Structure 1
Amino acid sequence: MTMPDRRTGSGFSTPARQENIRAHNLGLILQRIAADGGPVSRIDLARATGLARPTISRLVDDLLAGGLIAEVGPDRSRSAGRPPIGLTLSRTGPAGLGLDIRTGSLAACIVDFAGTVRHLEFAPRTHPVTSPEQTIDDLAAIAKDAIRLAEAQGLTIVGVTLATPGPVQDRTRVRFAPAIGWRDFDAGSRLRAALGSADMSVSVDNEAGLAALAEWHASDKELRNFVCLFGDFELGAGIVLDGELLRGARGWSGELGHVTVEPDGVACSCGAKGCLQGYAGLAAILAAVPDEEKRSGATSHRTPAVTIGVLADRSPEVRAALARAGTALGISLAALINLVDVDTVLLDGSYSLLATWLTEEIQAEIRDRVLTARWAPVEVRAAPIGPDAAVIGAALTVIEDVRRDPSTWITRTVS
C-alpha cells in the first residue's frame, strides 16, 4: 500500500511508469483467470476489468507467450455468433516445490501453475536426531529428484519453499525451533547452496501459516476468517483474516504453542513455564502412554499421531491425556478468538488425525469462554488436507509469487 503524500494528500507521490502499468495489468488479468475457476474469454476479461479489448489482446498474448495461461476449445453451447476461445491457467510451465520436515520423514511436493498437486513423495529420516546441515542436505537430495520428475512432466520449478516450525526471519533464517534443535540457523542459504541452482528462488516459512494457505486454497477461498491449528513437532496457528494470512510486524505471529496456560506449570523447551505445548503437544500426550504399551512395541514404527490414535481406543490414560489436551487447546483458542474474531477452527497437521478425541473438549471451552459464541457459534472440525497441508502450502507460495508478478517471469522466459 502506498502511503499518502504529506504535501498533496494523494496516495501517490511519483508518476506511474508505463512498464509498471503493464505489470499491474498483467497481474490483474492473470488473477481474474485464476479466480474464475473455468475457462474465461477475452470478452469476459474486458467486461470484468474495464480494459480495452486491444489492451486485453496484447496482455493475453504476453501471458500465452510466457506459458502462464493456455487456450482451450471454444464454448459451443452459446446459441449465436462465433463461440469465444477460453483461457485457463497453464498446466505446464512454471511450478512450485515445497519441502517439509516431519517427525519420521521428509516430504516434497510439486504444485503446477493451476494449483494442482502433481507429485508428493516422502523419504524416511535416516537421522532422526541430526544436525540442521545434514537435514538440509537430505532435503536437497529429494528436492533434486522432484525437480527431475517435474522436468519430465513439462514443468519448470521456479522456486522452493521449506516449511519449518518456529519463527522465521526474512524468509530464510529460523530463529528458534527447539523441537528440531535449530537456533538462529540460516536454512535458506544452506538449502540454496545444497541445490546449486541460481535460477530458483529459495525461501523458508512457518509451517502453520503455510498449512493455513493450503487449506484456504482447498476451500476455493470460501474460508475467509479462520484459525488453522497445526501440529507435528511444534504446535502453531495459522490465522487468516478477511482472506489474508496474519503475519505480524516481523512475520512471527501464530506461536500458539507458547501461550501460557499455567504460569507455574511444566518447563518448556523455549525457556518459559506452562506453555500450551507442554499440555497439548504430541509429546505431552505421548507421555501418558503406559509403560507396558511402550515395552510391547505399540509405539514403534508409527508417527506420534497414529500411535496416539491406535492407543486411544484401548488406553484410558491416553484418552484422559487427549481430553486434557483438548481442554488446554480450547482455553487458548477461546482467548485467540476473542481477540481476532474468526468463525472456524481447523484441526490440521497431526491434529487432523486426532480430531475425534479433541473436538468436543475444544468446542466446550470455546462455547463457555468466547463472548460471542452464544449467538455466533464457532465451528471446530478436522482440516480437509491434514498432515500434508504445510508442504502443499509451501509449494503454493511459489506459484502465488509468480501470479502476483507475472511480468518478471515473462521477461525472463520471452527475452
Structure 2
Amino acid sequence: MHAWPASEVPALPGQGRDLRIHDTATGGLVTLDPGPVARIYVCGITPYDATHMGHAATYNAFDLVQRVWLDTKRQVHYVQNVTDVDDPLLQRADRDGVDWVALAEKETTLFREDMTALRMLPPQHYIGAVEAIPGIVPLVERLRELGAAYELDGDVYFSVESDPHFGQVSNLDAAAMRLLSAERGGDPDRPGKKNPLDPMLWMAAREGEPSWDGGTLGRGRPGWHIECVAIALDHLGMGFDVQGGGSDLAFPHHEMGASHAQVLTGEFPMAKAYVHAGMVALHGEKMSKSKGNLVFVSGLRRDGVDPAAIRLTLLAHHYRSDWEWTDQVLRDAEDRLGRWRAAVSRPDGPGADALVDEIRAALADDLDAPAALAAVDRWAERQHREGGTDTGAPGLVSRAVDALLGVAL
C-alpha cells in the first residue's frame, strides 16, 4: 500500500531542540533522545468514513513530532497502518450495499488526498492489515507456543496475565478496563474466556465474511491489536521512540499491543513513550462515526476552505486537549492566515531570528503549538504596526512556519 506525496520541508538556520513530551505510561513529561533515526508508529484509520476533524487533529499532532525531530537534523522512520478489514468496515459496507474492499479503497484514497492537502508528512511504510496477514499468523502461532494464547470455539485469544507489565500503559484499574473493553471492540462478557479482558488474536472464519489462510490457526482474520504489533515489530523493532494515536487508543489498543509485543520478544517496553492526542467534539459530544456528528476535511475543502486554515484551526489547540469544533474557530483561523500572509508578503520586516527560536522552544515543550502561533501573531502584529528593515525576515518567517508548523504562507 502506498502513502501520499511528501511536501518539501524547508531547511532553517541553526538546529532545533530535543522534544519533551507527555508519556501516558508514566503520567509525566519525558525528554526523547532518539538516535540518528527517530522511530514512530501512529495507528491509522479504519477506512469507512474518512477524514473527520478528530482524525486530522491526531495526525497533526504526530506530524509536529516529525517536524521537531527533522529540525534537530535527525531522520525520521515513520510507520502507519490501515485497518482495512474489521467489523465496523464490514458493517458499513453491508449497510450501504457495497463491496467492503471497494469501500476501504475509496476511503483510504480520500484520506491520502486530505493528508496531502493538509501537508501532513507521509509515513515511510503505510501498511494495510490485509497485506500484513502473512506476518501476523506466525506471531499468533508463537504466542500460542509460549502459552500466552488459547483457543475458544475456534477463535484464538491472548491471555493478558501472561504479561507481567500488563496495565502499565493506561494505568487503569480492572473495572475501568472492563468498561472500556466493552465500549471499544472487546468482548469481556463472552463465556469461556480465562480473563474478561483477554483480546482476540485470530477470529475463525464466519459465514459471509472475508477470511484468509491462517496456517495452523485455520481460516480467519486477525484481531485489531496484533495487526499493529506485527507491522511495528517488522518495520521498527522493539523499543521504538513513540507509539501514537488518539487518547481513545490508550486502552485497549495500545495496552494490548504492548503486552503482545512484550511477551513475543521478552523485552520491555514496546515503546519509549506512549503519546495520545485529545478528542474533538461537535455540539458537545466527541466526534465519532457511531454518532454521525462529523466534520470532514474533504467537505470543508469542497466548500472552498483553505487547507492551511484547517491546519491552523488544529494548531490553535494543544494536542492533548479536548476541544470543540465550531464555525468560529475556523473563522479565527482564516483571519489569522490572512494576517500572516499579509505580513510575509512585504519586502522587509522586523528581525525574525528570535521568532524562530520561540517557535522551536514552544514545540519542544510538549508540542505547545498555541504558544508557537502566539509568537507568530506577535511578529505579524509588529510587522503591520511598525514594519522593519530586515529584507530576509519575511522569507525566514514563511519558511519557519512551513517547516515547523506545516502551514504554507
Shared fold (TM-score, shorter chain, > 0.5): no
Q: Which has the higher strand share?
A: 1
Q: Please, what TM-score do these two structures have when normalized by structure 1?
A: 0.24
TM-score with structure 2 setting the length: 0.25
Structure of higher RCO (CA pairs closer than 8 Å, 6+ residues apart): 2
